[in-house]
Amino acid sequence: MPTDPTPAMPSVNSAGGLRRSLNRSTWLACVTIAAAVGTTGCVNTRNVTLGSDVGSRLSGKSIVLASRERPGFALNTSSRIAVGAMFGALGGAIAGATAIKAGNELVTDNQIEDPAPALGATLLSELVATYHLNVAAGGSTTIDSEQPEQIARAYPGADLVLDVGTTNWSVIYFPTDWSHYGVMYAVKLNLVETRTGQNIAAAFCIRKPDKTADPPSINDLTFNQAARLKTMLAAAAQSCLAELRSGLHGV
């Protein structure tokens, strides 16, 4: 079980006085570096809502749910990020890679599921029922691109491709409280028309850590096969499901 034996933070005038010197902008930069190691390129967060004439345009068409490899999970402990921040961009990159390695081990050892496939399956069922679509087989094809034309080329046997992928799932400490942690989750939806290689709908959701009255320590999150982490991640994913649905349909 991962532990984070974070030492008491010394004063700002000492060599190890990082708690005050590592300000919020540095903290966010470290999070960004760590997250980037586990994602595939830049993500367009602009929403594109299905048009009012979509029913007649889509009825009877075939649709496939795209498949992606599980992205890296970042376990950003305060001690790891603080040490990385001491050595600038290179240190941050090393800390990010280390966070991804530790996070992936946590995910594997505790069978933590990437929420995106379940979100995609739910949204696919809703689209099929609403617009009378036919589900096409996707086979073993996986994608790693965010570009609609490349997504379309990966699934030439369907009229539409629904791509729902996690772009960030991670644990991060609070910038003013290095002993307690929250969960970050972000997911991107593309609905691609294969004939044109264009998005006909797109939506994005991100849930950032909110500090509650009883925020967990790293040990709290990882105890009992990461039960609390799984609960927090599931809550973030369910919240994003509603937001993706709203972005897709404009309601």
Classified by CATH at the fold level, domain 44-75+102-249 comes out as Rossmann fold (3.40.50)
Distance CA 110, CA 226 (A): 6
Closest to 32 in 3D by CA, of 84, 96, 75: 96
Q: How wide is the angle at C-alpha 159 spanned by C-alphas 157 and 164, nearest 5°?
A: 95
pLDDT in tens, 24-83: 444 444 444 444 444 434 577 888 889 777 878 899 999 999 999 999 999 988 776 655
Mean pLDDT of the chain: 83
Distance CA 117, CA 98 (A): 26
The pair of three-digit structure tokens given for residue 48, joined into one six-digit string: 């594109």
Determine the pLDDT at residue 48. 87
pLDDT higher than threshold 50 for residue 166: yes
pLDDT higher than threshold 70 for residue 86: no
Determine the pLDDT at residue 165. 97
pLDDT band at 101; cut points 50, 70, 90: very high
What does residue 76 show for φ and ψ, rounded to 5 degrees? Answer: -90, 90
Determine the pLDDT at residue 17. 42
What does residue 22 show for φ and ψ, rounded to 5 degrees? Answer: -85, 90
Determine the pLDDT at residue 77. 86
